[in-house]
Amino acid sequence: MVGTSLALRLKETIRGEVYANEPMWRHTSFRIGGPADVLVVPKDTEDLVVLLQALADVQAPFYVIGAGTNLLVVDEGVRGVVIKLAGTLNGVAREGGNVVRCGAGTHLPALCRKVASWGLAGLEFASGIPGTVGGAVAMNAAAYGWSMCDMVHSVTALTYGGERVVLGRDDLEAGVKTTRVLQEPLILVETQFLLREDEPRAILGRMREHLEERSRKQPLSVPSAGCAFKNPAGGGAGRFIDAAGLKGTRVGGAEVSTVHANFIVNTGGATARDVLLLMERVRDAVYDKFGVVLEPEIRVLGG
């Protein structure tokens, strides 16, 4: 049961949005990707639990995404159901003291601006990281010497069976670009952050400095999925790629950015095949020149 028939069944079951044969390029920052059989945006956490049960009943495979900012969907699309949390589960509230409760679908830069207006510091480093709070916490996104899990008090997640699980910061077993949420796997639905008080003007000033630095060093004006490769031991991936003379290298519409070598950008009309072939070319060239193995940071979905 795929595509239109499954979408019709889910529309009768949940309160959220359901789309059949939905082009995934519309839902990724890369602006690349074939259609998903079904795309679902649940209304809230309770709706997500109902959805998970419905998918279990029909044994439909599913995949969870946030805003699709570190995602490459293959040209053939995705068989099964894509559950999108960006644009839903997006409540933000201050819960006394310096604790902030935030839904997983909240846009991370929007959260950073909100807590700054409340005079709560700690998330300035994340103000330029695109995507959702849930995705950033699940992969323990980092910048400027800080990571998301440094600021986490606890998270609430769902098992694939719909059971709620509450994990403290230490329970997350956070590492470089990973947490227990990704390993088990779990679906993160809410995070409690423990922040600290400071003057809003000072917080906003630090955010502005980080944003200005990003705009100078990263190709923010063209579609990409962020850093293409994880940083290996011994230096940043971009430095190895640049030293191998690969800036500006192209396959079809995909190009190694001339601004930051660890970004592969969509110059217009790039396919997933273009990106994957270019990533393979970059990996081979860096290994041949430096003996360094680059591991993809971009998540590939579908096929």
**Which pLDDT does position 30 carry in this prediction?**
98
**Helix 3-11 / helix 45-58 crossing angle, nearest 10 deg:** 130
Boundary (domain end) residue, out of 159, 187, 215: 215
CA pair distance 189, 54, nearest whole angstrom: 18
List the CATH number of the domain containing 58: 3.30.43.10
User: Residue 276 — φ and ψ, nearest 5°?
Assistant: -65, -40
Shared-domain flag, residues 127 and 196: yes
Shared-domain flag, residues 288 and 237: yes
Q: What is the pTM of this model?
A: 0.94
Shared-domain flag, residues 226 and 207: no
Share of the chain above pLDDT 90, in %: 95
Closest CA to 242 of 228, 262, 223, 226: 262
Dump pLDDT digits (tens) for 236-247.
Answer: 999 999 999 999
Dump pLDDT digits (tens) for 88-104.
Answer: 999 999 998 899 999 99
Q: Tell me which H or E stretch contains 301.
A: strand 299-301
**Which pLDDT does position 2 carry in this prediction?**
60
Dump pLDDT digits (tens) for 177-209.
Answer: 899 999 998 999 999 999 999 999 999 999 999
Write out the DSSP string of 129-149: --SBHHHHHHTT-EETTEEGG
Shared-domain flag, residues 200 and 223: no
Residue 127, pLDDT above cutoff 80: yes
Q: Show the CA angle centred on residue 17, arms to residues 12 and 21, nearest 5°.
A: 90
Number of independent structural domains in the chain: 3
Shared-domain flag, residues 104 and 169: yes
CA pair distance 134, 90, nearest whole angstrom: 10
Shared-domain flag, residues 255 and 208: no
Q: Show the CA angle centred on residue 87, arms to residues 81 and 90, nearest 5°.
A: 120
Domain with 59, as residue range(s), is 3-84
**pLDDT-based confidence at 1, cuts 50/70/90?**
very low
Shared-domain flag, residues 260 and 291: yes
List the CATH number of the domain containing 132: 3.30.465.10
Mean pLDDT across the stretch 147-176?
Answer: 96
Dump pLDDT digits (tens) for 246-277.
Answer: 999 999 999 999 999 999 999 999 999 999 99
List the CATH number of the domain containing 250: 3.90.78.10
Q: Residue for token digits 């769902």? A: 158
Dump pLDDT digits (tens) for 19-60.
Answer: 999 999 999 999 999 999 999 999 999 999 999 999 999 999
Shared-domain flag, residues 169 and 274: no
CA pair distance 181, 127, nearest whole angstrom: 22
**pLDDT-based confidence at 235, cuts 50/70/90?**
confident
Closest CA to 136 of 205, 73, 193, 61: 193
Boundary (domain end) residue, out of 84, 118, 137: 84
Q: Supply the mean pLDDT for the chain.
A: 96
Shared-domain flag, residues 223 and 209: no
* DSSP single-letter state for residue 26: G
Shared-domain flag, residues 202 and 97: yes
Mean pLDDT across the stretch 125-154?
Answer: 95
Shared-domain flag, residues 211 and 224: no
Shared-domain flag, residues 167 and 116: yes
